[in-house]
Amino acid sequence: MSWLVTGGAGYIGAHIVRALADAGLEPVVIDDLSSGHAGFVPDGVPFVRGSILDLDLLTSTLRDHDVEGVIHVAGYKYAGVSVQRPLHTYAQNVEGTRVVLEAMAATGVANLVFSSSAAVYGTPDVPLVTEDLPKRPASPYGESKLIGEWLIRDQGVATASGEAPLRHTSLRYFNVVGSGDPSVYDTSPHNLFPIVFERLLAGETPKIFGDDYDTEDGTNVRDYVHVADIAAAHVVAAQRLAAGEPIEPAYNLGSQNGLSVRQIMDAMARVTGIDFTPEIGPRRPGDPDRIVATGELAARDLDWANRYTVDEMVRTGWEARRAAR
């Protein structure tokens, strides 16, 4: 029996694939390589190149590889760009999730871990985000992830009395950073760590957008969590589903405390050995002071913990990026 990882050639998906293999589970990858990289898939792991929108391909993959569960990571993950590309975002994230569920129903696969997002909360005005907070997504990306959760919930209700009732959970997280393998690094052009790394490698000065927020050092505070911790939580969720153990419909994979952009920049200078003073630019519209989530439920059920310091987050990400040069 195996676990299918959609988007398993991407930054997060490839770490989940490695964590599954380390746990003695058999990963299978499907990815269209629109943002993933074939080289991120470990040798020996079955890799199907194709889109999750292809129902026939997805169904045959589930059947051919004797899949017992799906970790659904594939999706269009650029919240800011989703405002300009809402139709593309909905096609990939909403229709993609619907097709995954249809393929699972056709093949009797009944376990699903959904890689969701804290973007479902929008910009909450509370110091600590909990799972029961009202959902007010502020972008088509966040809306698409919330609709994905609704689709999964409704399919769970619809199949509850059938032969293969859908068991599922959704994992919501914020900013994923670092690397758990020097051959895998974040290639997103929109995330803070790779943006800073690329500027430093180019001999340019990183920028902070706003230093007058209502926070300890004036820069906004966010959850930054290490990709290896994220991957480990997905594996424990898969194991609980396969074992029939109780599981919540959703978990925040939060840091509880958060880190400021200034703290990230200071760590970048310490770890890379590149002495720089960040440029200060104007605030970006809609950027809240602080968004940090609790991880208490996930700690209780998914062995969730923040096992990396900020310097370790930077060091592992920097080493992986430099190894790719």
Q: Which residues are catalytic?
A: 141
Q: Residue with structure tokens 């479902």?
A: 120
Count the residues in the chain: 325
Q: What is the dihedral of CA 192, 194, 197, 203, to 10 degrees?
A: -90
- Choose among 155, 18, 161, 4: nearest CA to 73: 4
- Choose among 124, 127, 133: nearest CA to 214: 127
- Residue 6, SS3 per DSSP: strand
Measured over the CA atoms of residue 217, residue 259, residue 76 and residue 140, the dihedral's sign is: negative
Q: Residue with structure tokens 């997805």?
A: 58
Query: Going along 200-258, which residue ranges are E strands?
Result: 207-209, 221-222, 224-226, 250-252
CA 240 to centroid of chain Cα atoms: 19
Q: How far apart are CA 225 and CA 48, in angstroms?
A: 29
Write out the two tokens for 107.
């093949």
Indicate left, alpha or beta for 122 from its phi (over 0: left) and psi (-120 to 50: alpha).
left
Write out the two tokens for 42.
């470990």
- Choose among 114, 129, 120: nearest CA to 170: 114
- From residue 89, alpha-carbon distances to 174, 254, 265 in Å are 18, 25, 31
Instruction: Give the pairing of strands 221-222 and 167-172.
Output: unpaired
